[in-house]
Structure formats: structure tokens, C-alpha cells
Chains A and B, each alone.
Chain A
Amino acid sequence: MTSNSHLERILERGEFAVTSECGPPRGADPEVIRKKGGLLKGYVDAVNVTDNQTSVVRMSSFASCILLKEMGFDPILQMVCRDRNRISLQSDILGAAALGINNILCLTGDHQKFGDHSTAKNVFDMDSIQLIQTVKWMRDDGKFLGGEELKGVPKLFIGAAANPFADPFEIRVPRLAKKVTAGVQFIQTQCIYNMDKFDQWMAMVRDRGLHERVHILAGVTPFKSVGMARYMKNMVPGMDVPDEYIERLKGVDKENQAGEGIKICVESIQRLRTIEGVHGVHIMAIEWEEKVPEIVKQVGLHPRPSA
């Protein structure tokens, strides 16, 4: 064990992990986080807290993680490279560890162009791979990037994202390999809808033995409606939604589409569980957190191990 992470413990024991996501509010009200947390409590092993996702300003991931920690969660601090340089990133890593945050998810971050402050100056002093290296260096070598010794190392379980469907095709697996070399311990993937393609990606991952060096948590997102499925297919970059799902959702009445979406999600998780090298599932149900318990129960992953 490299940390006190509950998630790490579960994965190291070889149990199938369940994680989910919590988006902080656009304001200072802590109740929003507590309410979302309340919906997920007991159904997941760890919760990701997004860091100003899509460059829209929200309550900080750090503060929201602490609110969840107070509720007994094992939060995963998402950290993007867009807004902070190496001084600030290292400082937040130390602060998070001091306050008992055990997991970090290292991301590049969306460009500020998409957000509500598109005239901002961005930082990108480092990228996600260098951030993984940095956390590992601080934890395992006990040093700052600048070379000085740390007094008290941050015991963090290190995660990152991967998109099995991303362009360019040639580097889909090499990019994961780079993250593994940098020191990543768990990966949460982009939402998976195209199972055949994901199967192919996993086969390539296994060919290089990467599945034995990193825990892969397969990402899923339930469709709320056929409209959402179409939007994901056409508007979200790097998202691969096969037509069969759109047809299937179109085939049911409007009021039953959400239920059908949940059914599709449950079937997906059942299939993902059978794939060698998939060690868990990451359920992203943004602003639909109340459905996570239902999904977890239906796939037979409830109750969650307590320690």
C-alpha cells in the first residue's frame, strides 16, 4: 500500500471497485455537496470531485473533497494543469495530504475557451503526465521538483484518465503506457458505449501487460433520453456512441427512456466486469447522482466493502 486510500485497499485486494463523481456547485453553499454525497453514501468506494470542469468556475475541488471527507467518503481530488503552476500544484498536493485526502486524479484540463472566463490566461506549466511524475516523486523520493527534501511526504494513490476512443489511433495504448511509466496506479476511462472497440483496446492493453501494472476502472454514463444519446454522439469530442443505442432508446416511450438508459448502463457494467484487466467501474451520472444506487444494486455490487 502506497497510501491510506480505501480505493487502493479494495483494488489491491482484487475486489471490483465502484467510483462515482460529484461536481461542486457554482457558489459557496456546502449543502449542495452534502446532498450529492448523501445520495452516493454506501454505494461507492470513492468519489471524484471535478476541478472547474469545462473551465466553468465552481467551488474548489479541494474544499469539496474536505466536505465529502467529513461525511466519511474517500474523495478523489481531481487536479488540472490549466490554472496552477508547479509551485501551486505541489503546495496543494501537500495540503490535500495533510487534510487526509488519499487519492489524486491528474488531468491536463479543458482549455479555458469553453468556460465562463474565456479571457483568462492559462498556465499549463506542466501536463498530466508530468503531474503524475511529480506526485510520485514527492511521495516516493520525498523531494520537491526543485530537489529539496520534503518534511512529511504526501501519501497519495495516483490516478489519471484515459480515452480508449481518442485520436490519434496509433498512440491510444502508448499514451497509457507513458502514464504507467510516469507512475499512475489507477485509470478511469472515458464513458464506454462502443463495447467492441473497448474490447479491442483492452486486448492491446493486455498485450503490453499494462493491465497488471495499473488498475483500470471502466467509465460509464447512463443515458437520460434519446436526446442525450444523440448529443453525446454528435457534440462531445472523443465520444463513440453506436447507433444501436439510439435506436433502442427511440423504440421506447419518452417517459420510459430514462429507465431504458439505466438498463443499458447496467448491461454495460455486467459486460465490462467480464473483461480481463477491468478492475472496477466509474459511474459518471452528473446531476443524476440519485440513480447511482439503483445501478449499483442492479449489477449486484451492493453492499460495498466497509474497510
Chain B
Amino acid sequence: MIVANRKPLDEIEEMIKGYQKIILVGCNECVTVCAVGGEKEVGILASELKLSRKKDGKEIEIKEVVLERQCDHEYIEQLRPFVDEYEAILSMACGAGIQFVAEKYRGKPVLPAVNTSFLGVTEEQGIWVERCQGCGNCVLDRTGGICPIARCSKSLLNGPCGGSTDGKCEIDKEIDCGWQLIIDRLKELGQLDRYEEITPVKDWTTSRDGGPRKRVREDLKL
């Protein structure tokens, strides 16, 4: 899933300080699972914003909406009937969702209430961790199912570096060294001999370095 973090309240307040009527729109997908922009969080943020305005002797009208997804036209259309009654849209979806809403309602300022961070998993209740950076050319078959791009702090393809200590990364004792994990897993799989294969320089054109990416499925197009 896409993992995000709520922005601090004062940053959000600063963004919306000129508005009295806004739509606060959550999303039922990833941001709900990572507990940052679902129905519950939309409710909490709306109350926080209203309470804080009240303290300053001011008011704000907030329409709370949660869409099934903010990355599909049909769901974003659901804002259309009432969008003109409001001055701005504050979105709690990932960066992709926020932008898609902005593209549709060009006349309205669309503002981010979350910081979109990474592609990850729920490691434990309340803990999400990064697993993939969408490089567009997956190498997991060669690295014991552990991603050297996302899980090594330097994205080394022939790791580890000299900083790996007791299984931890040189940048932080709390972060596992991705290459220690790869080596452990290769050992478990009886494939440690693969470690000595040199991975040549990567073709990054499938990653963000190739420019904005697009995928077309002719057979699915209408």
C-alpha cells in the first residue's frame, strides 16, 4: 500500500487560513489502512480544525466526505454536485489522489493534509515500513525476495557497504541492513553462491529517472 503521514495541524491551518467553507475529503483505500486519511481521521481532523478556529473566535464550515478511491474518475465525480458551494478542497488521500482531484476541479484550490511517504506493508499493528520504490524493473528474484533498492539506504546492487554492523545499517541502529537480510535469506534458500554474481549498473530508465511513467493496455481501452 501507499503509506502517508498526517501533516501537523498548524501547517494545515496555515494552508486553509483564508477559507471559511471547505470540503475535507478522505479515501477508503491505502490511507485508510495506514490510518491516516480514512473516515475516522477525516472526522478527527475536522473536529481539530473547528475547535482551533473556535478558540480564536472564528468559525469554519467543513463538509466531511470519504470517497471509495481518489485515483479513479468515477469516485471523484461524487464531489461535483456540491463542490461549487465550497472555497477549497483539503484532501487526505495520497499525493496521486490529491492531484487527481485537483485536475478535475480546476477552479478550486486542492490542498494536501498528508505527506505521502512510501510503498510499504503493515509490519505490526501501528507500524508501517517501506518495501519498494517502484523502480520498474524488479530484481527480487536475484536478491532472495528482499529489495536492495528500497531496503539498502544506498540502494546498492552489490552490497553490503562497510557500514553494516550487527545486522544494522550504518545510518541508524534501528534500521536493518538490507544486505544482511538479503544474505541471510539467500543462505536460507541455499543460494548463497549467487552472492558472487556481480550485478552490473542498473538501467534506471524504468524508474523516475526516465521521466513520468505511463502504462497503456490497448485491450482495456474504451
Contact = CB atoms under 8 A, between A and B. Distances in A.
Interface of A: 81-82, 86, 108-111, 113-114, 122, 124-130, 133-134, 145, 161, 163, 166-168, 170-171, 174-175, 177-178, 181-182, 190, 237-238
A194 B134 CA distance: 43
Contacts of B196: 174, 177-178, 181
Contacts of B155: 124
Interface stretch (B38-46, B56-64, B106-114, B163-171): B163-171
B133 to A, nearest CB: 12
A134 B180 CA distance: 26
11 contacts: A86-B201, A108-B161, A124-B156, A127-B161, A129-B158, A130-B200, A133-B198, A166-B164, A178-B198, A181-B198, A238-B163
B73 interface: no
Contact of B183 (A109, A114, A126, A171): A171
Interface in B150-209: 153-167, 170-172, 177, 179-180, 183-184, 187, 192, 195-196, 198-202, 204
A110 B170 contact: yes
Contacts of A125: 201, 204
Contacts of B192: 170
B22 to A, nearest CB: 32
Nearest to A163: B162
A126 B165 CA distance: 22
Interface residues of B, number: 33
Given A108-B162, A168-B164, A174-B195, A133 B157 contact: no
A240 to B, nearest CB: 11
Contact of B180 (A113, A122, A168): A168
A82 B162 CA distance: 14
Given A125-B204, A127-B154, A168-B164, 12 more contacts: A114-B171, A125-B201, A128-B161, A130-B157, A130-B201, A133-B201, A166-B162, A167-B180, A168-B167, A170-B183, A171-B183, A237-B170
Given A125-B201, A133-B200, A113 B171 contact: yes
Contact of A127 (B158, B163, B195, B204): B158
Contacts of B162: 108, 161, 163, 166, 190, 238
Contacts of A166: 160, 162, 164-165
B201 A237 contact: no
A126 to B, nearest CB: 5
B127 to A, nearest CB: 22
Nearest to B157: A127
Given A111-B154, A168-B180, A170-B192, A127 B159 contact: yes
A88 B151 CA distance: 26
Contact of A124 (B154, B172, B195, B199): B154
Contact of A167 (B157, B167, B171, B172): B167
Contact of B171 (A111, A171, A178): A111
Interface in B75-91: none
Contacts of A124: 154-156
Contact of A170 (B158, B159, B171, B187): B187
A124 B183 CA distance: 21
A145 B201 CA distance: 9
